[in-house]
Structure 1
Amino acid sequence: MQRILITGANGFVGQILCNLLQETGHHVIALVGAKFPLHPHADQSIPCDIRDADALENAVLQAAPTHVVHLAAVTHVPTSFKDPFQTWQTNVIGSVNLLQALRNKAPEAFVLFVSSSEVYGDTFKQGIALDENSPCRPLNPYAASKLAAEAAFNEYFRQGQPGVIVRPFNHIGAQQSPDFVTASFARQIALIESGQQPPVLKVGNLVAERDFLDVQDVCRAYVSLLKLADHPENYPRCLNICSGEPRKIRTMLDTLLSLSSQQIEIVEDSERMRPSDIPSAFGDNSAIRQVSGWKPETDLRKTLATLLDYWRAQVKITQ
């Protein structure tokens, strides 16, 4: 049994990952915000703000982890434009605080840093599946801060801290914030079905293509990569987590609409358009397949059905 510390444990991915790790028999330690003192799927919860270096070092000492998954971050791109200071402070300084705490209190712990496919940025305009050697050209503060945090992790790796960086592509599922595209669609459909919103669904760019994954598949990838700690000399330091298949956002919306009996009008909303949006973004997953055997398994229609049912339940609660 491993002692696995999860930062950002109360987030969308963190809750699912904690549950999955508990089910597989690990001792899960959730690093949580002050507003969430207990985690429903953790053996231990430690309140801590990763921007507080001293508190984080004490948390690592208390947790005594064998493994760490670093999820805590500002992840919403529009928020990163509105509040770049908080984004850089959390995503970069918070990461350095964690690395230094591990160096001082758990230098043997294997750390998995969750970066983002957003770091590729402008390179996606090539219109091909990008691998881990593709140039990184961020187009927003969130992506830039993740790339800077990657540099910090690589420096600590060079100095001996064991670990790996992952770049997950768009992952979706129940409990995701409606700030993100498919959750926004599902929530609006649920509101329309319940009569709480007129039958008009506001959308951004539907022509763009993205590499979508079920969040459960992404969490399975994280669990599989934690096993790399047992093979310290035989793994790459950076791995894409992706399907390799671009899907139009319009296709995702059409699938959700097909799961509803409502007649819904689609209206483009200029406020939902990203200033740096790119036509197509998808990745090459050859490296992670070779290293761990991982591949996505969940049919996205099932994912979208689960997502819509989740928002139907949420809307019913608030009626």
Structure 2
Amino acid sequence: MIDAPILITGGAGFIGSNLADRLLSEGHRVRVYDALARDGVERNLRWLQDRHGEQVEVVIGDIRDREKLAGAAADVRAVFHLAAQVAVTTSMLDPRDDFEINILGTLNILEALRARGNATPLIFASTNKVYGDLTDLDFALEGEAYVPTDAAVRAHGIGEARPLDFHTPYGVSKGAADQYVLDYARSFGVPTAVLRMSCIYGRGQMGTEDQGWVAHFLIRALEGKPITLYGDGHQVRDILDVSNAVDAYVQAWRRIGEVGGRAFNLGGGPANAVSLRQLLAHIGDLTGREVDLSFSDWRAGDQRYFVADTRLAERELGLAPKVGWREGVAELARWLAAERRLNAPVGQARAMAS
């Protein structure tokens, strides 16, 4: 099967297209399976086709289409399952759609691989939302950011031993899919691995208020438009450049014999932990003007703090050092300004404590 393609569901999306580009650049054939439902993904697809030509095969389809998805998986050597409904807010408006995409769609690809019976690996994109809202942890406000009072959590972040606690329909659907993927390794011998992602950002991201918030903040700031923060803006996330996320996916596939049936937290870790307010201050420095802010109520399931303990993933997957968040955000700002043909200045921001 050395010449067989690699299937990426959601391969025209932000992370999927970056992953496809990496695999194609390494000489693999890639089959992109995508419904093209999200704004901007057609641009990602054209970019892949322009760069890689016939090496990239495109199947326009929905992961809820069991027969079409099984056909797309019939001859592949590996699957990266990234297609999903990705917004908490959307799941609150239409829980059934969220269920069908995230749970049934995942079951469809797992069943397709089980039916093949040849141990085709699957790497699944999960989320840190499987750990719930973390309200049992205590936090202190230090400067512009919440920090845990627990010394171990503060030093390393949230580890994989943390109990699962699904909140919101999105958290439930992604969490259920996460568990299905792990159980298919146990029950049926399908070699699978799960990456529970924090906030990924980087080149190719066209974020919105509901998903892809780092790019959303940058786009609004570059265009001189106001930004609404939900909550107080002190909430902290460990943001990770997409190049590092792609490394993790590729390494999970390459090491599937050693890491099959396991879940790993994937994020920027404590060194890349930043509050929304700190990020916006950095963006203000990059653009040369203060960001226009307004505030609204906290949103359902929002975590005051989430930083991934990435030590297990780094050790087991052999990951390279991470791009620093200041450098990565500055690079994304330059890319967005060029991509959107904006004349807003984008410079190097001063160093600031995170």
User: Same-fold call, TM > 0.5?
Assistant: yes
**Are the aligned partners of 2:281 and 2:290 in contact in 1 as well (CA < 8 Å)?**
no
Output the CA distance in 2 between the equivalents of 1:83 and 1:316: 35
Task: Please tell me the residue identity of whatever aligns with 1:185.
Answer: F
**Greater shift in the superposed pair: 307-316 or 66-75:** 307-316
1:85 matched to 2:89? The reply is no
**Are the aligned partners of 1:29 and 1:44 in contact in 2 as well (CA < 8 Å)?**
yes
Output the CA distance in 2 between the equivalents of 1:155 and 1:222: 19
Number of the residue aligned with 1:119: 130
1:297 matched to 2:322? The reply is yes
Output the CA distance in 1 between the equivalents of 2:135 and 2:6: 34
Which consecutive residues of structure 1, in runs of 5 or more, have no partner in the other structure?
Answer: none
What are the Cα deviations for residues 168-188 of structure 1, in whole angstroms up to 9, with x where unaligned? 111112332223322221111
Task: Please tell me the residue identity of whatever aligns with 1:260.
Answer: T
Output the CA distance in 2 between the equivalents of 1:124 and 1:181: 22
TM-aligned CA deviation for residue 189 of structure 1 = 1.1
1:216 matched to 2:243? The reply is yes
TM-aligned CA deviation for residue 309 of structure 1 = 2.3
Query: Paired residue for 1:5, among 4, 7, 10?
Result: 7
What are the Cα deviations for residues 35-68 of structure 1, in whole angstroms up to 9, with x where unaligned? 758752552112221101111111112xx11111
**Are the aligned partners of 2:266 and 2:313 in contact in 1 as well (CA < 8 Å)?**
yes
Aligned with 2:252: secondary structure?
Answer: helix
Number of the residue aligned with 2:32: 30
Number of the residue aligned with 1:57: 70
**Are the aligned partners of 2:134 and 2:303 in contact in 1 as well (CA < 8 Å)?**
no
Aligned with 2:31: secondary structure?
Answer: strand
Output the CA distance in 2 between the equivalents of 1:125 and 1:12: 33
TM-aligned CA deviation for residue 151 of structure 1 = 2.2
Number of the residue aligned with 1:167: 196
TM-aligned CA deviation for residue 236 of structure 1 = 5.5
Task: Please tell me the residue identity of whatever aligns with 1:149.
Answer: A
Output the CA distance in 1 between the equivalents of 2:335 and 2:95: 31
**Greater shift in the superposed pair: 120-129 or 14-23:** 120-129
Output the CA distance in 1 between the equivalents of 2:227 and 2:158: 32
Query: Paired residue for 2:278, among 251, 259, 280?
Result: 251
Query: Paired residue for 1:203, among 226, 229, 251?
Result: 229
TM-aligned CA deviation for residue 307 of structure 1 = 2.2
Number of the residue aligned with 2:218: 186
TM-aligned CA deviation for residue 107 of structure 1 = 3.3
Output the CA distance in 2 between the equivalents of 1:115 and 1:47: 23
Percent sequence identity over aligned pairs: 27
Distance 1:219 1:262, change over 3 A: same
Distance 1:265 1:59, change over 3 A: closer
Task: Please tell me the residue identity of whatever aligns with 1:186.
Answer: L
Output the CA distance in 1 between the equivalents of 2:336 and 2:135: 32
User: Normalising to structure 2: TM-score of the pair?
Assistant: 0.80
Count of paired positions: 306
Which consecutive residues of structure 2, in runs of 5 or more, have no partner in the other structure?
Answer: 138-147, 344-354
**Greater shift in the superposed pair: 163-172 or 121-130:** 121-130
Aligned with 2:118: secondary structure?
Answer: coil
Aligned with 1:109: secondary structure?
Answer: coil
TM-aligned CA deviation for residue 211 of structure 1 = 1.3
Query: Paired residue for 1:145, among 164, 173, 177?
Result: 173
